[in-house]
Structure 1
Amino acid sequence: MSVDWLLTGGEVVSFESGASRSSALAVGNRRIVATGSDDELERLAGPRTRRTQLDGAAVLPGFIDTHMHLEKVSHEFAMLALGQARDVTEVCARVRERAASDRPGAWIRCLGDAGGWHERNLAEGRLPTRDELDAAAGDHPVFLYRRPDHGALNTAAVAKVADLLSGAATEAFDPRTGHLHGPLVRLVNDALYRPGVHEREDQLDLLSAASKRLLAMGVTTVVDPGLPAGFEAAWDLYRAAVGAGVLVQRVLLMNRFDWRREFSAELDRVRQGATAPGDGDDRLRAWALKLVLDGEFTGAWLRPAEEPGSDSNARYTPEQLRTVLRLAADRGWPACVHAMGGGAIAAVTRTVRELRAAGASLAPGQVSIAHAFLIDDAEVDDCSELGIGLSVQPPLAYTYAREMRAVWGELADRAVPFGAMARRGARFAGGSDTHPCDPLTGAAIAVTRRAWDGSDLGADEALTPWQALSLYTREAGHYIGRSDVGTLRPGAVADFAVWPENPLARDATEWPSLRPTLVAVDGRPVWRGD
């Protein structure tokens, strides 16, 4: 029987170790049938075979982002990007432009996760006031979020989130200026992603646009670590999006515990949920339990001898961590633990070791650690020995280099030690977690070790270009337990992207500007560059 699609005259980069050089790719029944020379694969073609002449273009596996909050990102793609603004007047002008072009009453928000977006970069040294935003936005509610703990609201937005602001201390919310400070900022930000804030039609439109934008980056699979206790709503939304044909990527969705709620209630919610890890199909699947064990930079659980962290930053007790991982072991569910600091990482490795000693069955990769910013050599080896998966997010250090250094001081020089991890033979996958969420940009950061402001993230921890791109292909497939994604070996699903030339032939600093000309999912073209 002939193959469905034959691509010839190019360069096939399979990301399989030891793979021979290939110029052609054959696809049949949604999977890779063969790679090889044009002449070798010609015999597989028949009268109904679709043919594509690559003209020297390169075919790479579709990229896999192992840590992208997809629903959140779909909103953020539509937000104002204010990282280049240099005064309040410019910020208000951008708000005014959006108000004039958007539908009446639509929320106007900005991307908070941007390295350059900070009041210290504005001439006035402050965010816009309530009155200034009112003058710019009219009846549009405006929330300008500056991660992690500053924000500004206009009058219409204050009315929309009045329940959250009720009773807030003046140091948390100043009604006169509309400025927010401290934990209340994140509460307001998180609330704007909740179901009911936006109509389902708007949510589907946002996901449709996000899906297309990610395809334009070559992304064909997304692992979504979820929002706090938001699994059910996200699952329903993604099912609707897949059913409507607007979400093209494969999506694996985690069920995330909300550390701010009573642990026993969250445990019951997960145990009794209608959808369990493993449910779904090849396009949308419930994946791991997600436990956020510590905070981020200021809230990282560091080792006892390290400042300023300690186990006081632990969001769960050792017994609660053990309970979740034991549940995962008993039910065969994957579990992913957010662990930023060395203390949190050690707690995970210690708990896995104890559970295994007590007879728990945990398959390799069933437990994974996300972030692992301050992992040391011994902990890298422990993870390899215990079969604990690792996912890293190069854009986090890129975007938050200043915050990281301000909190950790000299410790920051040891953060994200990709080179050391690779030299010790560890396997780890790549993801974004924040913007820029383009895998080629994330891979470039892993090679150049440069932050958004040009500062050095430690050149000695750089990966080779091949290693960096492997984070989002072969290693990402390994991380999610699927050997049939992330490579172009025969039998793999036919998720791939065609690039005008092989990114590996270009300097990594040029990668962020590259875009594919064609992307396929399940052996079917789903996006073409114009």
Structure 2
Amino acid sequence: MRYLRDGGPLQQAGSGRPHVLRSRDEAEGSQAASVVRLTAADWLLENARVATLDAGRPRAAALAVAGGRVVAIGTRAEVEPLAGRRPERVDCGGATVLPGLVDPHLHLYALAASAVNLDCAAPAIRDVADLLAALRARARSLPAGEWLRGEGLDERRLGRLPTATELEAAAPRHPVRLRHRSRHASVLNRRALALLGRVEGCDPRAGLVGGAENALSRLVGPVPRAILAEGLVASGRRLAAMGLTTIADATPRTYHGLAPLRQLMAAGSFPLRVFAMRPVGSSPWRGGGMLFPGPVKIMVEEGSRGLRPGPSTLARRIAAAARSGAQVAVHCLGAATLVATVAAFAALPARYRVGRRHRLEHVAECPPPMVATIAALDLVVVTNPAFVHWRGDAYRAETSGPARRWLYRARSLAAAGVTLAGASDAPIVPASPWVGLAAARSRRTAGGHVLSTGERLGAADALALFTTGAAQSLRAPALGRLVEGGPADLIVVEPDPLRAPPDEVADTRVLLTLVGGRPAWRA
């Protein structure tokens, strides 16, 4: 019998031999994830609060898994005969069993590359002087001429952005690229600017380059393969520990670009299901195993010169992707982008739109008239409730009056019948889905202010953002719920997010994560 609550450390595997599990803080980052892969794939979870998120049987006390699928949900007496001959028995001690969580928009390779990037948002970096000191220290550890990379640059946190001249003085033997927290702009030093050459959207005096991130990434070059592989394995472990069982990598990649991830999956070293977004014009590919093609993603930049691409080009790209049979996801931060994107979808013939689950990513600003239009076009909104927590104080400083009520809408969209999904957009903000769940309910910023109380969601609707809603955004309705015959993607957590207050939900502890019946994490 396995006990997931504190005070029950003895574990018993199918062989009948007892095992002692280490505590979470000892096991995390260790070989625990690979050790649990040796246990049986059949499970009996009992003494639990099972929330299936399925209307047919929303609550139960026990659940059985065999062959990677849920085979029974009900009471212990109903479930036990169907649990297989020698299941792993788990006494949940009253903890809650939920469907595995789904994050339909994060940047997996960026998370994996954190080992080679200077964290410009580290707690010790409080201003530009601290940042330059960290740059000097990092430069001393690198061979001359090697790129010095940084992530998470935030002018509000630092007081201002560093200049190209300051970066050059801090690291004169290296080209330097510090990527803005939005991942849509970078600050370069003089050496890096010379390597980049003249590009649109570049302020050479400040070193600020906007709208040229793809060109810059090609110039900097890929993260070394071994470091990327290590980072992907570590990221998979961390995400599983948060209760995520499925993610979507929102950085568009070709099938070839997914080779490092495919190799790790084939070796059993990456435990999550992954939907990979595709670039415009890329060749379609067939999913299999745990890797699936995601939407075709279209980027739109909104600046002082208008939209890039412009509305007509954007409409042509959306139409071409939709005609190819793809689901389309459009990056929609500002209101101008949203209006142009919705107009493009409205112009599509119904056969290219209805049932496709085309997506609007972020929707940071949504003017009131757009709500009903989005609903009428059957578009999915993939929102970022955790931004209300992490960035809400900045939003309050930057907006006022009615415009504040446009920010990261939730309840008004749901009330109009829009399918809502929740995503972290990590590493823009931390990947925890529980912070997003809590923020969707409280709309409370890190500074303690409340942003648009009228957009608060109830507990069930907030949980749906990262379960059923997220699954629909990926056109994977079998995920995000627990049903007999469905995939055994599930988590055991404390407290129950359907009953606990938001502050407690933000600190949810994940005790066990199963993906297709295989343990990906245990506390």
Pairwise TM-score range, normalised by the shorter structure: 0.7 to 0.9
How many residue pairs were aligned?
Answer: 475
- Equivalent residue number for residue 242 of structure 2: 217
Alpha-carbon distance, 1:376 to partner: 4.1
Alpha-carbon distance, 1:131 to partner: 6.9
Summarize the alignment of residues 44-123 of structure 1 with structure 2, pairs less than 5 Å apart: 44-76=82-114, 79-80=118-119, 81-83=121-123, 85-87=125-127, 90-91=130-131, 94=134, 109-112=149-152, 117-120=157-160
CA distance in structure 1 between the partners assigned to 2:118 and 2:108 by the alignment: 14
CA distance in structure 2 between the partners assigned to 1:437 and 1:349 by the alignment: 28
Would the aligned equivalents of 1:204 and 1:246 in 2 still touch at CA under 8 Å?
Answer: no
Alpha-carbon distance, 1:417 to partner: 1.8
Provide Cα deviations, 1:38-67, integer angstroms capped at 9, x if missing partner: 121112134322222212221111111111
- Equivalent residue number for residue 418 of structure 1: 410
CA distance in structure 2 between the partners assigned to 1:432 and 1:315 by the alignment: 24
Larger mean Cα displacement after TM superposition, 67-76 or 211-220: 67-76
CA distance in structure 1 between the partners assigned to 2:247 and 2:259 by the alignment: 17
Would the aligned equivalents of 1:377 and 1:421 in 2 still touch at CA under 8 Å?
Answer: no
- Equivalent residue number for residue 325 of structure 1: 318
CA distance in structure 2 between the partners assigned to 1:221 and 1:313 by the alignment: 36
CA distance in structure 2 between the partners assigned to 1:459 and 1:398 by the alignment: 13
Residue 473 of structure 1: which of 464, 467, 488 is its match?
A: 467
Alpha-carbon distance, 1:439 to partner: 0.8
- Equivalent residue number for residue 346 of structure 1: 339
RMSD of aligned Cα (Å): 3.5
Letter in 2 for 1:163: L
Would the aligned equivalents of 1:88 and 1:128 in 2 still touch at CA under 8 Å?
Answer: no
SS at match of 1:231: coil
Would the aligned equivalents of 1:449 and 1:457 in 2 still touch at CA under 8 Å?
Answer: yes
Summarize the alignment of residues 112-151 of structure 1 with structure 2, pairs less than 5 Å apart: 112=152, 117-120=157-160, 129-130=166-167, 133-134=170-171, 143-147=177-181, 151=187
- Equivalent residue number for residue 519 of structure 1: 513
- Equivalent residue number for residue 305 of structure 1: none
- Pair 1:440-2:477 in alignment: no
- Equivalent residue number for residue 279 of structure 1: 286
Alpha-carbon distance, 1:521 to partner: 0.8
Would the aligned equivalents of 1:443 and 1:469 in 2 still touch at CA under 8 Å?
Answer: yes
Larger mean Cα displacement after TM superposition, 218-227 or 72-81: 72-81
Structure 1 96/168 Cα, relative in aligned 2: closer, same or farther at 3 Å?
Answer: same
Alpha-carbon distance, 1:390 to partner: 1.6
CA distance in structure 1 between the partners assigned to 2:460 and 2:275 by the alignment: 25
CA distance in structure 2 between the partners assigned to 1:500 and 1:83 by the alignment: 28
Would the aligned equivalents of 1:92 and 1:128 in 2 still touch at CA under 8 Å?
Answer: no
Would the aligned equivalents of 2:379 and 2:419 in 1 still touch at CA under 8 Å?
Answer: no
Residue 429 of structure 1: which of 415, 421, 424 is its match?
A: 421
Alpha-carbon distance, 1:128 to partner: 9.8
Would the aligned equivalents of 1:60 and 1:488 in 2 still touch at CA under 8 Å?
Answer: yes
CA distance in structure 2 between the partners assigned to 1:140 and 1:117 by the alignment: 25
- Equivalent residue number for residue 485 of structure 1: 479
CA distance in structure 2 between the partners assigned to 1:499 and 1:397 by the alignment: 24
Structure 1 98/442 Cα, relative in aligned 2: closer, same or farther at 3 Å?
Answer: farther
CA distance in structure 1 between the partners assigned to 2:433 and 2:516 by the alignment: 20
- Equivalent residue number for residue 375 of structure 1: 366
- Equivalent residue number for residue 386 of structure 1: 377
- Equivalent residue number for residue 172 of structure 1: 203
CA distance in structure 2 between the partners assigned to 1:9 and 1:116 by the alignment: 48
CA distance in structure 2 between the partners assigned to 1:219 and 1:107 by the alignment: 33
- Equivalent residue number for residue 34 of structure 2: none
**Percent identity among equivalent residues?**
28
SS at match of 1:206: helix
Give TM-score, length-normalised by structure 1.
Answer: 0.78
Provide Cα deviations, 1:200-239, integer angstroms capped at 9, x if missing partner: 1111111111111111111111112225xx4355323322
CA distance in structure 2 between the partners assigned to 1:436 and 1:235 by the alignment: 23
Structure 1 363/282 Cα, relative in aligned 2: closer, same or farther at 3 Å?
Answer: farther
Provide Cα deviations, 1:2-40, integer angstroms capped at 9, x if missing partner: 992211111112122463421111112211122111121
CA distance in structure 1 between the partners assigned to 2:277 and 2:112 by the alignment: 17
CA distance in structure 2 between the partners assigned to 1:496 and 1:363 by the alignment: 31
SS at match of 2:475: coil
Provide Cα deviations, 1:279-302, integer angstroms capped at 9, x if missing partner: 22141122211112443xxx3xxx
CA distance in structure 1 between the partners assigned to 2:142 and 2:265 by the alignment: 26
- Equivalent residue number for residue 297 of structure 2: 290
Letter in 2 for 1:422: A
Alpha-carbon distance, 1:83 to partner: 5.0
Larger mean Cα displacement after TM superposition, 402-411 or 284-293: 402-411
Could you tell me which runs of 5 or more consecutive residues in structure 1 were left unpaired when the two chains were aligned.
Answer: 258-269, 300-308
Would the aligned equivalents of 2:111 and 2:231 in 1 still touch at CA under 8 Å?
Answer: no
CA distance in structure 2 between the partners assigned to 1:3 and 1:199 by the alignment: 35
Letter in 1 for 2:475: G
- Equivalent residue number for residue 43 of structure 1: 81
Would the aligned equivalents of 2:243 and 2:491 in 1 still touch at CA under 8 Å?
Answer: yes
Letter in 1 for 2:484: P
Provide Cα deviations, 1:427-475, integer angstroms capped at 9, x if missing partner: 2101122212211111112122123343432122111122112100111
Letter in 2 for 1:396: F
CA distance in structure 2 between the partners assigned to 1:189 and 1:128 by the alignment: 23
Provide Cα deviations, 1:377-428, integer angstroms capped at 9, x if missing partner: 5433333332222211123344444654566544233211212112223221
Would the aligned equivalents of 1:72 and 1:193 in 2 still touch at CA under 8 Å?
Answer: no
CA distance in structure 1 between the partners assigned to 2:271 and 2:224 by the alignment: 21
Give TM-score, length-normalised by structure 2.
Answer: 0.79
Letter in 2 for 1:151: V
- Equivalent residue number for residue 228 of structure 2: 203
Provide Cα deviations, 1:92-126, integer angstroms capped at 9, x if missing partner: 565577678x7877865443166863235x9xx98
- Equivalent residue number for residue 60 of structure 2: 22
- Pair 1:508-2:502 in alignment: yes
Letter in 1 for 2:417: G
CA distance in structure 2 between the partners assigned to 1:145 and 1:195 by the alignment: 12
